[in-house]
């Protein structure tokens, strides 16, 4: 049973030390695909560490072994439904939540554990009509490249991380110190911790990340950033982007 601190797997690569994760990675076998996978998996196991009910505190190897022996695997599917609701309540996009659930189920499939099919996992809990996008990734990036360096960095970061406007504003207000260190280290991936609002302001709500494309755009933007600024992105008028 894992008894680590809330900063579980602070080094993202620690999660690859577990046999079931290593097996999953080897079968994916694509570095660009694996990078977001391991961040999504860490988000799930951090959640499970304190909110997992009978699965609380289990590390990846323990969890897969435990679920494999369960006569009724719907109990774990219920835990996935709770996790789905948790992520939706944090304002994540439908696409991001579905991706996280899919990756978790794939982890079990690649370790010979067949989970029950559950249609509720794919049901969108929203009264807002779904708008289907028609642009592919290449077209979106072409559109982004038509903007000035500031908004190229802004929209590439939002596109890669799945942040909505509210999450972006919170990151823009509080994320500069961590981002500055990532740029100094020349990181290829940067983890973003999105803080809550009002009474949950001091609690980390969820983690996401940006990759090389967004970081390169940010490096291009940095010369335009006002000296002594505290937020990340600023308009030409010297005000934080909101």
pLDDT at 145: 82
The ranges assigned to domains in the chain are 12-122, 137-224
How would residue 128 be classed by pLDDT, with cut points 50, 70 and 90?
very low
pTM for this prediction = 0.53
Specify the range with the lowest mean pLDDT, choosing from 38-42, 143-147, 222-226: 143-147
Structure tokens at 100: 């996280």
**φ and ψ at residue 69, rounded to 5 degrees:** -90, -10
Cα end-to-end distance, the chain, whole Å: 43
Could you tell me where the beta strands, DSSP code E, fall in the chain? Answer: 190-195, 204-210
Q: Is the pLDDT reported for residue 1 higher than 70?
A: no
3 state SS of 185: coil
Q: In b/e form, how buried is each residue of 79-95, taking b as 16+ CB within 10 angstroms?
A: bbbebbeebbeebbeee
- Give yes or no for a contact between 210 and 137, defined as CB atoms under 8 angstroms apart: no
3 state SS of 69: helix
- Give yes or no for a contact between 179 and 215, defined as CB atoms under 8 angstroms apart: no
Render pLDDT for 141-181 as a digit per residue (tens, 0 to 9). 788 888 899 999 999 999 888 888 888 888 999 899 999 99
pLDDT at 58: 93
């Amino acid at each position: 049973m894992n008894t680590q601190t809330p900063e579980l797997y602070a080094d993202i690569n620690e999660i690859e030390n577990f046999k079931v994760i290593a097996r999953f990675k080897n079968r994916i076998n694509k570095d660009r695909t694996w990078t977001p996978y391991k961040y999504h998996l860490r988000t799930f196991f951090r959640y499970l560490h304190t909110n997992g009910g009978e699965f609380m505190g289990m590390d990846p190897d323990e969890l897969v072994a435990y679920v494999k022996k369960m006569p009724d695997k719907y109990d774990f599917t219920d835990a996935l439904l709770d996790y789905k609701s948790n992520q939706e309540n944090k304002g994540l996009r439908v696409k991001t939540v579905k991706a996280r659930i899919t990756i978790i189920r794939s982890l079990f499939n690649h370790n010979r554990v067949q989970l029950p099919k559950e249609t509720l996992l794919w049901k969108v809990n929203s009264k807002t009509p779904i708008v289907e996008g028609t642009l592919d990734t290449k077209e979106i990036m072409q559109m982004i490249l038509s903007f000035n360096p500031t908004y190229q960095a802004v929209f590439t970061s939002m596109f890669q991380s799945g942040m909505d406007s509210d999450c972006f504003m919170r990151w823009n207000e509080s994320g500069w110190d961590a981002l500055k260190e990532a740029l100094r280290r020349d990181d290829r991936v940067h983890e973003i911790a999105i803080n809550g609002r009002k009474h949950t302001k001091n609690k980390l709500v969820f983690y996401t990340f940006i990759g090389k494309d967004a970081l390169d755009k940010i490096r291009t933007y940095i010369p335009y950033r006002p000296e002594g600024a505290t937020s990340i992105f600023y308009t030409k008028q010297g005000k934080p982007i909101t």
